[in-house]
Amino acid sequence: MNNLRFLADVHISPLTVAALKLKGYDILRCTDLLPNTAADVDILELARVESRIIITQD
């Protein structure tokens, strides 16, 4: 689809992530790679390392 890569935090529904994947978006939930209790700084670092745009609700 495009070269944008997304990282959804724990507040984004798994159903939303699944729907976006079906539409062809490159998106992961942070809990795919980090514990559910990961600190914001760890999520930011993951996004930086993976070159992903964070999607959050908080």
Each domain of the chain, given as residue ranges in start order, spans 5-55
The predicted structure's pLDDT at residue 46: 97
32, 5 in Cβ contact below 8 A?
no
Distance CA 6, CA 3 (A): 10
Counting as low any pLDDT under 50, the low residues of the chain are none
| Per-residue pLDDT at 13 | 96
Residue 8 confidence (pLDDT)? 98
pLDDT at residue 34, as a whole number: 97
Please give the backbone phi and psi of residue 27, each rounded to the nearest 5 degrees, phi first: -140, 140
Residue 2: its pLDDT value, please? 72
